[in-house]
Amino acid sequence: MKKLLIIMLMSALSTLNAFANDVPCLSENNEDLNQLEQQLNNCKIDYGKNYNTDEMLKAYTNAENCLKTVAYTIFDKYYTKKNLQSKEIFDTYIKAIRDLNYNLVQGSDWATDNHFAEVYILEAEGATYTTLKRIILQYIDELRHECIDVVD
């Protein structure tokens, strides 16, 4: 089951690369990609000063929403022909990666029997955030590569 889920996710991600819009590679595009990468880097987890588990979870949610906004901006500008499909695939990926991370850290009999929910829930959210950020950076890098290919 896990292997099938991973294969399906990788297939979906590789399919998205094929849908990138035929945008001419201009210096404005490179600047736009740099701005998108900066927006991505600004999606940080801010726990505040006096934080507890609930506040930490809110911080992860805020950071992940920020990441999603950057991804949607990419789809709106560079995946116009498959915009809705790209967003749906991405949203499905977010859910799958979150479910996978939660299962990794909470799904074992040992973790379930010993009630490590609070500790492991933060680990799962952190892994989800890191994975999403890495995937969005891959989108930006792919667009840069496509620009280079157009120029060559």
Please give the mean pLDDT across all residues of the chain: 82
Which of 43, 114, 49, 110 has its CA nearest to residue 72? 43
Confidence of residue 101 (pLDDT cuts 50, 70, 90): very high
| Residue 18 maps to a domain | no
* Percent with pLDDT over 90 in the chain: 53
| Residue 63 maps to a domain | yes
Full residue range of the structural domain in which residue 125 is found: 27-151
| Residue 10 maps to a domain | no
| Residue 66 maps to a domain | yes
- Over residues 69-98, the pLDDT tens digits come to 999 999 999 999 999 999 999 999 999 999
- Is the pLDDT assigned to residue 146 strictly greater than 60? yes
**Residue 26 confidence (pLDDT):** 57
- CA–CA distance, 79 with 70 (Å, rounded to integer): 13
- CA–CA distance, 122 with 103 (Å, rounded to integer): 13
| Residue 69 maps to a domain | yes
**Residue 128 confidence (pLDDT):** 96
**Residue 119 confidence (pLDDT):** 73
Structure-token pair, residue 10: 């990788």
Q: Which residue has the higher pLDDT, 69 or 118?
A: 69
- Is the pLDDT assigned to residue 15 strictly greater than 60? no
| Residue 20 maps to a domain | no
Sign, CA torsion 43/45/49/53: positive
- Is the pLDDT assigned to residue 60 strictly greater than 70? yes
Q: Which residue has the higher pLDDT, 151 or 43?
A: 43
| Residue 16 maps to a domain | no
Domain count, the chain: 1
pTM over 0.85? The answer is no
Confidence of residue 19 (pLDDT cuts 50, 70, 90): very low
| Residue 56 maps to a domain | yes
- CA–CA distance, 44 with 146 (Å, rounded to integer): 28
